[in-house]
């Protein structure tokens, strides 16, 4: 069915309000009854009568109507049209235009409806969140400033997203405006909160993360600024041309021991047999920045976020934050030695120890900014690696592929990169990537060494960070994320890889 013109115009008017920029018909949208209509003479009696749309115009148009009842009781009416010839061609043009417009309108309306629906869902969630924060506001339990810092960071991030969304809507959607106000309000609320239950804060943070992701999706669904290289090729595969970028960090949480535990490592176990299995580990060093004594394991990311259902273990022999976990085994440098060990994460006992031949240790060639990490384990699609230096290499990075069961060295590569001038390193598909510090806000992936080809070279990929120093970087091939320990905060980055041409 074809909508009537006045209906169409009313809707057009609404659309103009709701999504001005979505409309791409040339002339400006009608904002009053006398404005022009595409393809129709605005001065003609037809357009003015139609576009004014009401009953008044009809009587005005057919103003010269006379009626009377004749002798035989029949009602007689005569009408004088102001124009002598009926402008059929104009009506046809008008109908044609109306048809074209209604089609275009349907298309645009369905788009707008889609966005509006999405936004109203987020709006509800945000409201829910606000209500819950208000409830929490009344609680008086424990308060940790750090958790608030995290919430503030996340809310800020969300605020930015909404502003972006708003811009892409041409700044004219009431709903997005509302969303923005509510997020601002939430920021204020969070700032005002002084007494809070810790677990509630974390639950809220979890929701914020989810909300943020959905906002991102909404943004991406507009298709205009879709991220360039993700998601294919499939994670876990090496059919790509190497790392080309990293996302901004997302703050997962503060390590469970707190703010003063600035040194450590964290990550997600990678099992080549069960790649989608979840096992997260967090290993903050003691405050001396050297002894690895306690670590925690979580079976889901939710448990980790809420600090619940953790298995906490104690060892007395770990050194530095070069730890990695692969196939349910944790690999560590043994305290005060060049020995390395495999800890079975089912039994939590040392399954194997080996000496890493010629490896320098005890701060002979650790990374810049991070002590006691002369021996740094790495996991990638191909298995277990160790990054270290030797006296013979004069401090340059040496990469060895290890047998992850026996810890025997399978193969070794010698790079030209001095290890103490890099801040950290990780492996992806047999390629070593090293970082260096640009400033207090950013690191840079500046160097690579490809063990597949023996080639090495420069890169300039900026990695934003929360805090000044990066203590460790661990890569998970399944979710293709970096797990970074940043002065006590646990950060996540998505890696972007170069897609090979088909
Ligand atoms: C109505 O018609 C009569 C003649 O039929 C004419 O004299 C008069 O001016 C018309 N009135 C209007 C308002 O057009
Ligand atoms: C609000 O949050 C509560 C608690 O998580 C949940 O049970 C409820 O379904 C949420 N409501 C909406 C509309 O999202
Ligand atoms: C934002 O907060 C102010 C004052 O706290 C309140 O009056 C206003 O209604 C809030 N707006 C929304 C959209 O929640
Ligand atoms: C790399 O990623 C960052 C963060 O997502 C983005 O701001 C930047 O534009 C990207 N750089 C390139 C060259 O794609
Ligand atoms: C760890 O120990 C358990 C129990 O002894 C054993 O079943 C499992 O195979 C071990 N895992 C590895 C990877 O050696
Ligand atoms: C590691 O060593 C074990 C025992 O010698 C052997 O069975 C296994 O195949 C080796 N794995 C690799 C990847 O070389």
**Could you read off the pLDDT of 477-488 as tens digits, one per residue?**
999 999 999 999
pLDDT of residue 206: 62
Which residues share a beta bridge with 437? 443
State how far the Cα of 226 lies from the Cα of 334, in Å rounded to an integer. Answer: 46
Last residue of a domain, one of 161, 179, 214: 214
Nearest CA to ligand 3 atom 2: 185
Q: Does a structural domain hold residue 372?
A: yes
Quick check: CB of 411 below 6 Å from ligand 6?
no
pLDDT of residue 222: 55
29: CA distance to ligand 4 center in Å? 38
Q: Are residues 191 and 253 in the same domain?
A: no
Quick check: CB of 227 below 6 Å from ligand 4?
no
Quick check: CB of 328 below 6 Å from ligand 5?
yes
Q: Above 50 in pLDDT, residue 44?
A: no
State how far the Cα of 98 lies from the Cα of 94, in Å rounded to an integer. Answer: 6
308: CA distance to ligand 5 center in Å? 25
Q: Does a structural domain hold residue 22?
A: no
Which ligand minimizes its atom distance to the CA of 245? 4
pLDDT of residue 65: 67
16: CA distance to ligand 3 center in Å? 27
Q: Above 90 in pLDDT, residue 79?
A: no
Q: How confident is the model at residue 89 (pLDDT cuts 50, 70, 90)?
A: low
Q: Does a structural domain hold residue 40?
A: no
Last residue of a domain, one of 198, 214, 230: 214
Q: Are residues 331 and 455 in the same domain?
A: yes
Nearest CA to ligand 3 atom 6: 185
Q: Are residues 254 and 325 in the same domain?
A: yes
The CATH number given to whatever domain includes residue 486 is 2.120.10
**Angstrom distances, CA of residue 116 to CA of 11, 19, 119, 122, 410:** 15, 10, 5, 10, 58
- Residue of 165 and 263 predicted with greater confidence: 263
242: CA distance to ligand 4 center in Å? 15
- Residue of 43 and 479 predicted with greater confidence: 479
Q: Are residues 308 and 437 in the same domain?
A: yes
Contact 459, 448 (CB under 8 A): yes
Q: Above 60 in pLDDT, residue 164?
A: yes
**Strands in 236-373 per DSSP E:** 240-246, 250-254, 264-268, 280-284, 291-298, 311-326, 329-334, 339-344, 349-355
Of 444, 476, 466, 463, the closest CA to residue 154 belongs to 466
Q: Does a structural domain hold residue 12?
A: no
217: CA distance to ligand 2 center in Å? 20
Of 79, 81, 78, the closest CA to residue 45 belongs to 81
Q: Are residues 338 and 302 in the same domain?
A: yes
Which ligand minimizes its atom distance to the CA of 405? 6
Ligand 3 nearest atom to the CA of residue 185, by list position:
1
State how far the Cα of 286 lies from the Cα of 325, in Å rounded to an integer. Answer: 19
Q: Does a structural domain hold residue 286?
A: yes
Nearest CA to ligand 1 atom 12: 64
Task: Provide mean pLDDT across the span 68-97.
Answer: 65
* % residues pLDDT > 90 (the chain): 45
Q: How confident is the model at residue 329 (pLDDT cuts 50, 70, 90)?
A: very high
Task: Provide mean pLDDT across the span 162-170.
Answer: 65
pLDDT of residue 252: 83
Q: Which of 222-236, 250-264, 442-456 has the lowest mean pLDDT?
A: 222-236
Looking at the structure of the chain, the number of domains it has is 2
Task: Provide mean pLDDT across the span 190-206.
Answer: 56
pLDDT of residue 266: 97
Nearest CA to ligand 4 atom 5: 247
Q: Does a structural domain hold residue 203?
A: yes
Buried b (16+ CB within 10 A) or exposed e, 248-270: ebbbbbbbbbeeebbbbbbbbbb
33: CA distance to ligand 6 center in Å? 82
Q: Above 80 in pLDDT, residue 438?
A: yes
pLDDT of residue 388: 98
pLDDT of residue 8: 40
Q: What is the mean pLDDT of the chain?
A: 77
H-state helical runs in 328-427 = none
Q: Above 70 in pLDDT, residue 447?
A: yes
- Residue of 250 and 177 predicted with greater confidence: 250
Task: Provide mean pLDDT across the span 135-160.
Answer: 59
**Domain ranges, residue 482:** 241-499
Mutate to test the pocket of ligand 1, among 65, 80, 81 (most ligand atoms within 8 A of CB): 80
Task: Provide mean pLDDT across the span 262-266.
Answer: 96
Which ligand minimizes its atom distance to the CA of 495? 4
Nearest CA to ligand 3 atom 14: 182
Q: Are residues 346 and 388 in the same domain?
A: yes
pLDDT of residue 275: 84
Q: Are residues 151 and 249 in the same domain?
A: no
Quick check: CB of 248 below 6 Å from ligand 4?
yes
State how far the Cα of 213 lies from the Cα of 205, in Å rounded to an integer. Answer: 12
- Contact residues of ligand 1, CB 6 A cut-off: 63-64, 80
pLDDT of residue 192: 56
Quick check: CB of 406 below 6 Å from ligand 6?
yes
Nearest CA to ligand 4 atom 13: 245
Nearest CA to ligand 2 atom 9: 128
286-310 pLDDT per residue, tens: 999 999 999 999 999 888 887 889 9
Ligand 4 nearest atom to the CA of residue 248, by list position:
4
What single-letter DSSP state applies at residue 421? Answer: G
Q: How confident is the model at residue 363 (pLDDT cuts 50, 70, 90)?
A: very high
Quick check: CB of 247 below 6 Å from ligand 4?
yes
pLDDT of residue 64: 62
Mutate to test the pocket of ligand 1, among 62, 63, 64 (most ligand atoms within 8 A of CB): 64
Q: How confident is the model at residue 186 (pLDDT cuts 50, 70, 90)?
A: low
Q: Are residues 297 and 433 in the same domain?
A: yes
Contact 377, 472 (CB under 8 A): no
pLDDT of residue 29: 37
- Contact residues of ligand 3, CB 6 A cut-off: 181-182, 185
Q: How confident is the model at residue 2 (pLDDT cuts 50, 70, 90)?
A: very low
pLDDT of residue 176: 62
Q: Are residues 280 and 131 in the same domain?
A: no
Which ligand minimizes its atom distance to the CA of 445? 4
Ligand 5 nearest atom to the CA of residue 351, by list position:
14
Quick check: CB of 225 below 6 Å from ligand 6?
no
Q: How confident is the model at residue 320 (pLDDT cuts 50, 70, 90)?
A: very high
Q: Are residues 319 and 253 in the same domain?
A: yes
Q: Does a structural domain hold residue 368?
A: yes
366-401 pLDDT per residue, tens: 999 999 999 999 999 999 999 999 999 999 999 999
194: CA distance to ligand 3 center in Å? 19
Q: Are residues 431 and 479 in the same domain?
A: yes
Q: Are residues 308 and 446 in the same domain?
A: yes
Q: How confident is the model at residue 337 (pLDDT cuts 50, 70, 90)?
A: very high
Q: How confident is the model at residue 120 (pLDDT cuts 50, 70, 90)?
A: confident
Q: Does a structural domain hold residue 469?
A: yes
Quick check: helix, strand or coil at residue 481?
strand
Nearest CA to ligand 1 atom 14: 64
């Amino acid at each position: 069915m074809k909508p009537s013109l006045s209906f169409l115009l009313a809707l057009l008017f609404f659309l103009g309000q709701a999504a001005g920029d979505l409309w791409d018909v040339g002339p400006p949208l009608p904002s009053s009854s006398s404005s022009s209509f595409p393809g129709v003479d605005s001065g003609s009696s037809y357009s003015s009568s139609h576009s004014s749309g009401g009953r008044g115009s009809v009587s005005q148009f057919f103003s010269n109507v006379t009626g009377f009842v004749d002798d035989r009781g029949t009602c007689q009416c005569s009408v004088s049209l102001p124009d002598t010839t009926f402008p059929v061609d104009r009506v046809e043009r008008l109908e044609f235009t109306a048809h074209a417009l209604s089609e275009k309108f349907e298309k645009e309306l369905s788009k707008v409806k889609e966005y509006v629906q999405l936004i109203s869902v987020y709006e509800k969630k945000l409201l829910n969140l606000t209500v819950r924060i208000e409830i929490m506001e009344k609680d008086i339990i424990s308060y940790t400033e750090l958790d608030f810092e995290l919430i503030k960071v996340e809310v800020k991030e969300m605020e930015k997203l909404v502003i972006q969304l708003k811009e892409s809507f041409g700044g004219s959607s009431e709903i997005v405006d509302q969303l923005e106000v509510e997020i601002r309000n939430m920021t204020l609320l969070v700032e005002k909160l002084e007494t809070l239950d810790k677990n509630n804060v974390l639950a809220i943070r979890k929701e914020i993360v989810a909300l943020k992701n959905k906002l991102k999706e909404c943004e991406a669904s507009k298709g205009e600024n879709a991220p360039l290289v993700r998601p294919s090729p499939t994670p876990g595969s090496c059919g790509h041309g190497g790392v080309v970028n990293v996302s901004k960090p997302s703050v997962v949480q503060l390590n469970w021991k707190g703010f003063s535990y600035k040194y450590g490592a964290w990550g997600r176990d990678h099992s080549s047999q069960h790649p989608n299995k979840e096992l997260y580990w967090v290993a903050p060093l003691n405050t001396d920045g050297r002894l690895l004594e306690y670590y925690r394991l979580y079976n889901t990311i939710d448990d980790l976020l809420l600090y619940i259902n953790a298995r906490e273990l104690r060892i007395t022999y770990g050194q530095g934050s070069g730890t990695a976990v692969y196939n349910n085994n944790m690999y560590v440098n043994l305290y005060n030695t060049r020995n390395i060990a495999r800890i079975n994460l089912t039994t939590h006992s040392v399954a194997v120890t080996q000496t890493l031949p010629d490896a320098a240790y005890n701060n002979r060639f650790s990374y810049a900014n991070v002590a006691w990490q002369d021996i740094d384990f790495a996991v990638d699609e191909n298995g277990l690696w160790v990054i270290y230096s030797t006296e013979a290499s004069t401090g340059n990075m040496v990469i060895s592929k290890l047998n992850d069961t026996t810890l025997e060295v399978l193969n070794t590569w010698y790079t030209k990169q001095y290890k103490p001038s890099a801040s950290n390193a990780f492996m992806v598909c047999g390629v070593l990537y090293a970082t260096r510090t640009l400033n207090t806000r950013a690191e840079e992936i500046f160097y690579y060494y490809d063990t597949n080809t023996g080639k090495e070279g420069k890169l300039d990929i900026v990695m934003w960070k929360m805090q000044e120093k990066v203590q460790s970087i661990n890569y998970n091939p399944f979710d293709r994320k970096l797990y970074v320990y940043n002065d006590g905060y646990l950060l996540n980055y998505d890696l972007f890889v170069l897609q090979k041409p088909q």
